[in-house]
Every structure is written in C-alpha cells, then in structure tokens.
Amino acid sequence: MEKSHGLLIVLSGPSGAGKGTLCQELLRQVPALKYSVSMTTRSPRPGEVEGIHYFFRQKEEFEAMINGDELLEWAQFCDNYYGTPCFAVEQAIQGGQDVILEIEIQGALQVKKRFPQGVFTFIVPPSLDVLSERIHKRGTESEEVIQKRLATAIEELGYVSEYDYVVINDEVPVAVDKLKSILIAEKCRVKRKPFVFKGESI
C-alpha cells in the first residue's frame, strides 16, 4: 500500500467560537497531529521560541516571501505581518504527517484557494447569546469593541457554506470528539487512499 500524504486540517470561525481551546485539546489528544507555526515580523516576546511559537522574520524577508508566493496566507496587523509559510506545512504533509491550522476566516479562504484538498471545518458557538457571554468574560475589551465583534461574527457566519464541516462548540469534549471523527473519516475517503492489492485484481 502506498503511503498517503498527511492532511491539512483548517479550523476557523467567528471570534469567541472557541477555536483555540478546541485546537489545544485536539493536539493534546492526538499527539501525532502537528500544529502549523505562523510567521511574523514582530519581535519575540519573553519566552517565545523560534520555530515553536512563531517563525520570526524581518519585514523585508517577509515581503520577499509574499512576492515569491511562498505563503499559504498572510495579513498585516498593527504594522506587522503575520502568515503561514508553505515550506513547513508542505514538508510535513508530504512526509505523511497531519497538520492543523487554526486561523481566521479570511485567512482560511486564502488557504482554500491555494490548497483546496485541505479539510476545512467551521467552528460555531451554540448561540449568539453564548458568543456574547464568552467575549464579555474575557474582560479585555470595551463594550463598543465587543458589539463590533458580535456584528462581525454575525457577518462571518455567512461563510459557513465555504467549509466542508461545521462543528458547534457547546461542550468542548463533544466538539473535540467530532473533530477526531472528521479526521478519521477524511483518512478513509477513497480519493485520499490510493492502494493496490498485490497479486490480486479487482
């Protein structure tokens, strides 16, 4: 049997849907899954390690990678670039390793154009009331900012049709089990499993 390539699993959804929590728990339960490390032009914060938390690069190098089409996706925030380098993801996938990428919706749509064979899963909260409660609990933003986030979340829910799967994040253990089931199902898809029965014909 030929060795299959790994999968690229993309998790995204509105802010406050719990993407990060689900991603961390999935990585804990599936140790073979590799987390996709992003690249940034901002300076490392205390405790951050090159290649583990981020790939840290100079602005000129990052822009050269943009021009060279070497990023799966990228965006600019507060005068710094952030993006997903192709080299690390492609190397892992070609080696048969599954990679998970937790990303915002616009970035996910960029990835889909470049890597449509990825597994795109949309994470949603059980309700807008729950989403509002989660964002308020953070206690890090003003009410005006929170209302803008909620308005954006409502708009972003319209992108669900761009994804292969949708998972409602009501209870974390249940949502993680669904993500693991998606991973198993995708590995069993005929188009992902080329094989030959030696000495037999079908």
Which CATH class for the 1-33+98-202 domain? alpha beta
**pTM to 2 decimal places:** 0.81
Contact 92, 2 (CB under 8 A): no
Under-70 pLDDT residues of the chain: 1-3, 138-141, 192-202
Where does 37-96 sit in CATH, by number? 3.30.63.10
pLDDT tens, position by position, 31-69: 999 999 889 999 888 888 998 888 999 999 999 999 999
Q: In 68-158, which ranges are E strands?
A: 71-77, 80-85, 99-102, 119-124
Could you state, in order of their start, the residue ranges of all structural domains in the chain? Answer: 1-33+98-202, 37-96
